[in-house]
Amino acid sequence: MTSLLGKSTLYDMLACIIPGYLLLQLAKLLFAPNITLNIDNVCIAIGVFTLSYLTGLLLKWLMENILNGFLRNTPNRIRRAYDKSNCIFEKKDLPDKEEDLMQKYYIAYYKALKGNMNSSIPTLEAQIAFLRSILPVIFLYLATSYCWLVKIGHGYCLFIFITIIILIGCIALIWHLQDKLHQLVWEDAYYAELIDKSVTPTTNNP
């Protein structure tokens, strides 16, 4: 239970709270730059936390639907990850039908989680969810930068350049982490199955 709560906290913190808080800060810069929120006040802190979490959940849902066919689980990338997996075994041919392939992958995914073979899978999922949620926030900071950068007096061109580099880097990183996740799922499921077979007691027939 403690491990589950720890993973849930990491996932929520990365995927929801941080992007939601950054988006709220952008809204404050644009529409209420002179308002100062005293987060030492418990009520204000709880309100900011709640709004950040809800905003982050909305961002997460939005990006999961927008990027479903691009930076999510797709048959071609799952098949490619299977071919690249480092398992020392004779690989079986994957199903040709997309539905059968996805079913086989999700069976492997839950088998890997059940076997608790590698704690990297939940961590990678949290990182991918965070990067997906932060993409629209970075884009909105970029799109509205002229409005609020003028108010706080920072260099406009430098900010634009750095933000574009970060945006491109986030997309590339999501692509890389998603491929790594698929590969880990195949490998961990295979080794979980090997371990199950090795510890299964054999019964001697009289």
DSSP 112-174: HHHHT--THHHHHHHHHHHHHHHHHHHHHHHHTHHHHHHHHT--HHHHHHHHHHHHHHHHHHH
In angstroms, the CA 61 to CA 140 distance is 17
Structure-token pair, residue 175: 């692509």
Structure-token pair, residue 158: 């430098």
CA-CA distances (angstroms) from residue 123 to 8, 102, 109, 126, 177? 10, 22, 14, 5, 10
Tens-digit pLDDT profile for residues 95-110: 888 888 889 898 888 8
Residue type, 74: T
Determine which of 120-124, 171-175, 192-196, 200-204 has the lowest per-residue pLDDT on average. 200-204
Residue 116 has pLDDT above 80, yes or no: no
Tens-digit pLDDT profile for residues 189-205: 888 877 777 765 444 44
User: What's the rounded mean pLDDT across residues 132-159?
Assistant: 79
Tokens 């574009």 sit at which residue? Answer: 164
Task: For the chain, list the strands marked E by DSSP.
Answer: none
pTM score, whole prediction: 0.76
More confident position, 160 or 86: 160
Residue 96, helix vs strand vs coil: coil
CB 175 within 8 A of CB 71: yes
The pLDDT of residue 9? 64
DSSP 31-53: H-TT----TTSHHHHHHHHHHHH
User: What's the rounded mean pLDDT across residues 155-179?
Assistant: 87
More confident position, 7 or 172: 172
